[in-house]
Amino acid sequence: MKKITIVLACVLFSTTTYAAPDRNSEHARKTLEIYKHIIEVETSKNLGNVPEVAQYLADELIAAGFPKEDVEVLPVGETAALIARYRGNGASGKPPILLLGHMDVVEARPEDWERPPFELTKDDTYFYARGTLDNKFGVAQITSTFIRLMKEGFTPNRDLIIVFSGDEESSMASTKVLAYEREDLAGAEFALNSDAGGGDLGADGKALVYLIQAAEKTYVTWELTTRNPGGHSSRPRPDNAIYDLANAIVKIQQYRFPVRWNDMTLEFFDETGHQMGGELGDAMIRFASDPTDKAAADRLAIESSYVGTTRTTCVVTMLRGGHAENALPQSATATVNCRVFAGDPTSEVEKTLKQVVGNEALEFKLTDSVTESPVSELREDVRAAIGEAVHVRYPEIRLIPVMESGGTDGMHFRSAGIPTWAARGLFMNPDEKFHHGLNERVPIKGFYDALDHWSIILRELAGN
């Protein structure tokens, strides 16, 4: 795989005490109002509620002064996308910048949560609800920033375009329309994504590093199916579709893909390790120095926040099998979701999985087409603009380009030829990022500290 070389300049920053944004300002109140409203509309797949959120955001932008013809709610099946253009004066002569986010969320079962998942609640430290982090945080912050800049009379020197998808967590049908079928978006110079990146805090609250997502692993899912003639449950047979599938699942569970690395991941572990310290930090430093160090790689492999940065991962996420309680199963199916290290072909991953399970009768079926997206090498003007926003809060922290373990809309925009970097405005402990899990949360302090993040970046990149 091509090695990625990133050179980051060492800069001295002011140590002036950070003044947090006013939580009672008009901008703070509007951001929280939008955040609460869109969180409390459940936008899980198949509910058809995303258009309601898209229209609400569109109405907020129009009420703030955006021309109706520049704000579009685009239906895509049962979901929708939002496209909102902040027209510039063209002084820079540069193409538009896209601002990405997604309005849908992963399902949440109320009976499993300690708090209602689709009601914004809080304690002394956190906001709680599905979507508080992924990705209604970014959607609310970008939307309110557009409103703020419009009311302040800001005129960008190029167009800025909100591009919010409606099904990032499922089929990405709206994402594909936006990335591949909209000529008015195809000419963008680059995109900034609110759905990844951001700052890492240690368990003690110390800021460790700020991550700019410049690449992401390939998202791919297979269904593995075993079949059997079945029969009456009172007459068990030595072969059984569920048992055969269970054996395959155990083998996948026990298999660990080989360690992989590039310049970005090694730089990330070196910087994070030195900032974090302790036994885990030492393992990161040793891995960065020698990624063939098995003990260091094994230590990182048990950390859910970091294992994905060291290798391809595959995990069983869903099961179905059998057709009656008094009948032998005629089929059983497991869904296996993989996140493939950037640059590695998914065909090789499938080949490896087939070798691991060792059952030629087991069927492999791709559930969707696969998008293998390129790395977006970090531009200095983008790094500098993000740095301005980050260093207001943490003057000495380093900005590191990283490969995301998860998948975002950015994969399709990169694949369409639009360089994309993710730069979420939030700082938090990565071990407390319960997106897709129970009791998803965002630190209240982090929410308010991010209020100026996007306005600083956009003024730097599109100011006159």
Number of helices (H), then strands (E), belonging to the chain: the values are 14, 19
Note whether 440 and 348 are same-domain residues.
no
Write out pLDDT tens, residues 267-316. 999 998 998 899 999 999 999 999 999 999 999 999 988 999 999 999 99
Q: Which tens digits make up the pLDDT trace of 366-405? A: 998 899 899 999 999 999 999 999 999 999 999 999 998 8
Q: What is the DSSP string of 56-105?
A: HHHHHHHHTT--GGGEEEEEETTEEEEEEEE----TT-PPPEEEEEE---
Nearest to 148, CA basis, from 94, 82, 86: 86
Whether residue 337 is contained in a domain is answered as yes
Same domain? For 352 and 388 the reply is: no
Per-residue pLDDT, averaged over 186-190, amounts to 98
Q: Give residue 14's pLDDT.
A: 36
Mean pLDDT for 51-66 is 98
Q: What is the CATH number of the domain that holds 335?
A: 3.30.70.360
The pLDDT of residue 305: 87
> Are 434 and 359 in a shared domain?
no
Domain range for 341 is 218-366
Examine residue 15 and state whether it is found in any structural domain, yes or no.
no
Q: Examine the pLDDT at 13 and tell me if it is beyond 80.
A: no
**Is 134 contained in some domain?**
yes
Determine the average pLDDT of the residues in 10-15. Answer: 34
Chain segment 131-163, per-residue pLDDT in tens:
999 999 999 999 999 999 999 999 999 999 999
Q: How many CB atoms lie within 10 A of CB 98?
A: 24
Q: Is residue 4 part of a domain?
A: no
Phi and psi at 72, nearest 5°, equal -125, 125
Residues 208 and 347 in one domain: no
The answer to whether position 301 is within a domain reads yes
Residues 405 and 359 in one domain: no
CATH of the domain at 70: 3.40.630.10
Report the 10 Å Cβ neighbour count for 193. Answer: 27
**Amino acid 431: pLDDT:** 86
| Per-residue tokens: 39 | 């969180």
Angstrom distance (rounded) from CA 350 to CA 356? 10
pLDDT tier for residue 125 given thresholds of 50, 70 and 90 = very high
Q: Are residues 93 and 163 in the same domain?
A: yes
Domain final residue, candidates 340, 366, 392: 366
Domain boundary among 311, 343, 366: 366
Structural domain contains residue 341? yes
Beta carbons of 412 and 420 less than 8 angstroms apart: no
Mean pLDDT of 439-464: 97
Asked whether residue 208 falls in the same domain as residue 226, the answer is: no
Q: Quick check: 343 pLDDT over 90?
A: no
CA angle 136, 141, 147 (to 5 degrees): 125
Q: What is the pLDDT of residue 20?
A: 85
Instruction: Classify each residue of 61-76 as buried b or exposed e, where b means 16 or more C-beta atoms within 10 Å of its C-beta.
Output: beebebeeebbbbbeb
Pair 316, 398 in one domain: no
Do 49 and 164 lie in one domain? The reply is yes
Q: What is the mean pLDDT of residues 201-224?
A: 94
pLDDT at 18: 76
Does residue 351 lie in a domain region? yes
User: For residue 89, with 0-12 CB atoms within 10 Å meaning exposed, 13-18 middle and 19 or more buried, which class applies?
Assistant: exposed
pLDDT exceeds cutoff 60 at 221: yes
For residue 7, is it within any domain? no
Query: At 1, is the pLDDT very low, low, confident or very high (cuts 50, 70, 90)?
Result: very low
Angle (CA) 365 77 79, round 5°:
100
In this prediction, residue 3 has a pLDDT band, given cuts at 50, 70 and 90, of: very low
Total domains present in the chain:
2
**Domain final residue pick, 344, 366, 388:** 366
Q: Are residues 266 and 157 in the same domain?
A: no
Q: Is the pLDDT of residue 7 over 80?
A: no
The CA distance from 290 to 264, in Å, is 14
Query: pLDDT value at position 323?
Result: 96
Nearest-angstrom CA–CA distance, 268 and 214? 12
Regarding whether 174 and 35 lie in a shared domain, the answer is yes
Contact 339, 436 (CB under 8 A): no
What letter would DSSP give residue 235? S
Q: Are residues 50 and 197 in the same domain?
A: yes
What is the mean pLDDT of the segment spanning 8-34? 73
